[in-house]
Amino acid sequence: MLEPTTSVQYVKGIGPRLADVLGAKGIHTVDDLLHYLPFRYEDRVNPRGISELRAGEMATVIAEVRTSGLFRTRRMPIFQMTAGQGRSRLKCTWFNATYLRDRFKPGQMVALYGKVEEDRYGGELQLVQPQFEILGDPSDEDGGEQKAASSLEVGRIVPIYESAGQGRLTPRWFRRIINTALENLPPELPDPVPAVVRRRMSLIAPREALWRVHWPDPGESLQDLQASRTPAHIRLIFEELFFLELGLELKRREQKAQVGIAFSPDNRVREAIKKILPFHPTAAQKRVLKEIAQDMEKPFPMRRLLQGDVGSGKTIVAFEAAIIAMENGYQVALMAPTEILAQQHYFSARRILENAGYRVVLLTGSLEEDRKREIRRHIAQGNAQLVIGTHALIEQKVEFAKMGLVIVDEQHRFGVMQRFKLMKKSADGAGNDHVGTFAPSTSLRTSLGRPAEGSADSSGEPDVLVMTATPIPRTLALTLYGDLDVSVLDEMPPGRTPIVTRRVSDDRADEVWQFVGKQVAAGHQAYVVYPVIEENEESELKAAIKMYKELGKRVFPDLQVGLLHGRLSPDEKEDVMRRFQKGELNILVSTTVIEVGVDVANATVMVVEHAERFGLAQLHQLRGRIGRGAAKSYCILMTGGKISEDGERRLDAMVCTTDGFQLAELDLELRGPGEFFGTRQAGMPNFQVANLIRDRQLLEAAKREAATVLAGPNHEVSKEEIDRALRHMRSHWQKTYGLVEVG
CB 23, CB 29: distance < 8 Å:
no
Dist. CA 148–CA 731, nearest whole Å: 37
Give the residue from 312, 685, 316 showing the smallest Cα distance to 480. 685
What are the Cα distances from residue 406, in Å, to 337, 463, 478? 14, 6, 22
**Cβ-based neighbours of 582, under 8 Å, separated by 6 or more:** none
Q: Which of 126, 282, 592, 639 is close enough to bind ligand ADP by CB under 6 A?
A: 282
CB atoms within 10 A of CB 437: 23
- Which of 127/469 has CB closer to ligand ADP? 469
Q: Which secondary structure element, helix H or strand E, spans residue 636, and what is its range? A: strand 633-639
- Which of 316/636 has CB closer to ligand ADP? 316
Q: Which stretch binds ligand ADP (CB under 6 A): 43-51, 249-257, 303-311, 396-404?
A: 303-311
Q: Is 308 in the site for ligand ADP (CB under 6 A)?
A: yes
Q: Is 265 in the site for ligand ADP (CB under 6 A)?
A: no
Q: Which stretch binds ligand ADP (CB under 6 A): 54-62, 154-162, 280-288, 335-343?
A: 280-288
- Minimum separation from the CB atom of position 677 to ligand ADP (A): 19
- Minimum separation from the CB atom of position 597 to Mg ion (A): 4
**CA-CA-CA-CA dihedral for 140, 142, 148, 153, to nearest 10:** -50
Q: How far apart are the first and last CA of the chain?
A: 34
Burial class (CB in 10 A: 0-12, 13-18, 19+), 371: exposed
CB 27, CB 162: distance < 8 Å:
no
- Minimum separation from the CB atom of position 271 to ligand ADP (A): 19
Binding mask 545-584 for Mg ion (x = CB under 5 A): ----------------------------------------
Phi and psi angles of residue 295, each rounded to the nearest 5 degrees, phi first: -60, -45
CB atoms within 10 A of CB 109: 17
- Minimum separation from the CB atom of position 559 to Mg ion (A): 28
- Which of 436/597 has CB closer to Mg ion? 597
Give the residue from 734, 614, 683, 686 showing the smallest Cα distance to 414. 683
Q: Is 312 in the site for ligand ADP (CB under 6 A)?
A: yes
- Minimum separation from the CB atom of position 491 to ligand ADP (A): 9
Q: Which of 310, 340, 379, 722 is close enough to bind ligand ADP by CB under 6 A?
A: 310
Site for ligand ADP in 210-229 (CB under 6 A): none
Q: Which of 285, 307, 525, 581 is close enough to bind ligand ADP by CB under 6 A?
A: 285
- Which of 597/685 has CB closer to Mg ion? 597
**Cβ-based neighbours of 45, under 8 Å, separated by 6 or more:** 155, 156, 157, 218
CB atoms within 10 A of CB 652: 12
CB 270, CB 320: distance < 8 Å:
no
- Minimum separation from the CB atom of position 338 to ligand ADP (A): 13
CB 708, CB 716: distance < 8 Å:
yes
User: Count of residues binding Mg ion (CB under 5 A)?
Assistant: 1
Q: Is 279 in the site for ligand ADP (CB under 6 A)?
A: yes
Residue 99: contacted member of ligand ADP, Mg ion, none (CB under 5 to 8 Å, by partner type): none
Distance from chain centroid for Cα 520: 38
Site for ligand ADP in 434-493 (CB under 6 A): 469, 493
Q: Can the peptide bond before residue 231 be classed as cis, meaning omega within 30 degrees of 0?
A: no
Binding mask 596-625 for Mg ion (x = CB under 5 A): -x----------------------------
Give the residue from 652, 703, 645, 646 showing the smallest Cα distance to 672. 646
Q: Which of 315, 441, 590, 618 is close enough to bind ligand ADP by CB under 6 A?
A: 315
- Minimum separation from the CB atom of position 662 to Mg ion (A): 20
Q: Is 171 in the site for ligand ADP (CB under 6 A)?
A: no
Q: Which of 4, 38, 313, 482 is close enough to bind ligand ADP by CB under 6 A?
A: 313
Q: Which of 599, 675, 700, 716 is close enough to bind ligand ADP by CB under 6 A?
A: 599
Q: Which of 214, 391, 628, 703 is close enough to bind ligand ADP by CB under 6 A?
A: 628
Q: Which stretch binds ligand ADP (CB under 6 A): 211-219, 221-229, 281-289, 695-703?
A: 281-289
- Minimum separation from the CB atom of position 311 to ligand ADP (A): 5
Site for Mg ion in 579-598 (CB under 5 A): 597
**Cβ-based neighbours of 520, under 8 Å, separated by 6 or more:** 526, 556, 559, 586, 587
**CA-CA-CA-CA dihedral for 690, 691, 694, 699, to nearest 10:** 60
Residue 261: contacted member of ligand ADP, Mg ion, none (CB under 5 to 8 Å, by partner type): none
- Minimum separation from the CB atom of position 657 to ligand ADP (A): 18
Residues of this chain that bind Mg ion (CB under 5 A):
597
- Site of interaction with ligand ADP (CB under 6 A): 279-282, 285, 308, 310-316, 469, 493, 599, 601, 628
